[in-house]
Amino acid sequence: MKRTRIGVLASGGGTNLQEIIDSCERGEIDGDVVVVVSNVPDAYALERARKHGIDAFAFDHKDQTREQHEKDIIDCLERHQVDLVALAGYLRMLTPVFIEKYAGRLMNTHPALLPSFGGKGMHGLNVHKAVLDYGCKVSGCTIHFVTADVDGGPIILQKAVPVLEDDTPETLQARVLKEEHKLYSRAIQLFAQGKLRIEGRRVRILEL
């Protein structure tokens, strides 16, 4: 069976990237991270990739049009013949051209139970603060396919976590992130196994 070639886009420290790499190396994903791309030249995600012998590239978006910046990334991904693009803390908005090119092959993770607490500005601690401010009793994480609708693509997997009485945004973030790491790798493995089928807004998980 052909192993899935995974390209990861990351802007920061890359903890989700690390978990994906580790899951591949443990045999929990029938695939390999073949390239990591960042828009931040000193992102630690690039160092994580290099430590595992994975090609790593930075394409600084400053002083470039969004279209040229994305063309450089697409060219890089195509050279590495990626089957799946995983966003792992990638903080640039993608254009419809990029999203359409990788439609059904572009995944993202969100640290809340979508469609709640998604959309513009909802990333990092902002999400967890909003959950606590609203008084939610549960939160969680969502793995979804990316569409032009921000945080609005078809949902692949979700995992709920409790919100505790004494939670801060930081403690809630840590609890969600622990589950997010496991859930993202599981979603990627389902893709690698050919078990995901998109039907409108729904993602069917097939038993092959």
CB 52 within 8 A of CB 43: no
Paired strand residues for 94: none
Question: Which distant-in-sequence residues (6+ apart) come within 8 Å of 159 by Cβ?
Answer: 140, 141, 179, 180, 182, 183
| Distance, CA of 50 to CA of 48 (rounded, Å) | 6
What is the spatial distance between Cα 89 and Cα 85, in angstroms, rounded to a whole number?
13
| Token digits of residue 55 | 């090609």
Among 74, 71, 34, which Cα is nearest to 56's? Answer: 34
The yes-or-no answer on residue 80 being catalytic is no
Return the amino acid letter for 67.
E
Q: Which of 110, 128, 144, 181 is catalytic?
A: 110
Cα atoms found within 13 Å of the Cα of residue 179, Cβ hemisphere only:
19
- The tally of CA atoms less than 13 A away on the side-chain side of residue 125 is 5
Residues with catalytic function: 110
